[in-house]
Amino acid sequence: MAIDNPVIHHLGTRTARTLKETTSIAAELLPLMLKAGVVSLEGPLGAGKTHFVKATALTMGITEDVTSPTFTLLQSYGSGELRLHHSDWYRLESDAEVLGLGLEDYHGEGLMLIEWGDKFPGLLPPSTLRIRIEPMPDGSRLIHISQHS
């Protein structure tokens, strides 16, 4: 029997019917996200991952315009403890490419949000908070929150 299987703790599910509701949920989850330090944003293309990062930036008081880091791969906003780092692993194809971003340099310095973090789960720190966004047929989003122990 494997004794090192990580236990996944489901912390809850929220429903966002509008972009505004996503912002309220991001505000509610901010203390949890700051405590984890790293957040993996998961869900299909167009699920609302980038929007969730924009909502988080708003709740952190960041006024800069957050854009999708699909090509730049890593962007940082804000300053001090409320710095936000935004990465997107969608276009990355190997562990080496992810490691080449040097994300660990930012560890402990603000909040790291990673779109498509589940592409390389072995490269996420154990404390990573996972936020999986599931689009529903009526256009609303289910937001599932979990964390490995």
Ligand X SMILES: Nc1ncnc2c1ncn2[C@@H]1O[C@H](COP(=O)(O)OP(=O)(O)OP(=O)(O)O)[C@@H](O)[C@H]1O
Q: Which stretch binds Mg ion (CB under 5 A): 31-39, 46-54, 100-108, 119-127?
A: 46-54
Q: Which residue is nearest to ligand X (CB)?
A: 48
**115 Cα distance to chain centroid:** 6
- Rounded distance, CA 3 to CA 105, Å? 31
Token pair for 138? 């009526």
With CB under 6 A as the contact rule, the residue among 1, 2, 3, 45 that binds ligand X is 45
Q: Residue 3 or 71: which CB sits closer to Mg ion?
A: 71
User: If binding means CB under 5 A, how many residues of this protein chain bind Mg ion?
Assistant: 4
Q: Which is nearer to Mg ion, 119 or 148 (CB)?
A: 119
Applying CB under 6 A, does 40 fall inside the site for ligand X? no
Contact 39, 11 (CB under 8 A): no
Read off φ and ψ for residue 6, nearest 5 degrees.
-70, 140
Q: How far apart are CA 106 and CA 21, in angstroms?
A: 29
| Region 51-110 residues binding Mg ion, contact defined as CB under 5 A | 68
Shortest CB 86 distance to ligand X, Å: 11
- C-alpha 132/C-alpha 11 separation (Å) is 12
Pick one of 8, 19, 99, 136: the residue that binds ligand X (CB under 6 A): 19
Which burial class, exposed, middle or buried, applies to 83 when counting CB atoms under 10 A from its CB (0-12, 13-18, 19+)? middle
Interacting residues with ligand X (CB under 6 A)? 16, 18-19, 22, 43, 45-51, 68, 115, 139, 141
Interacting residues with Mg ion (CB under 5 A)? 49-50, 68, 115
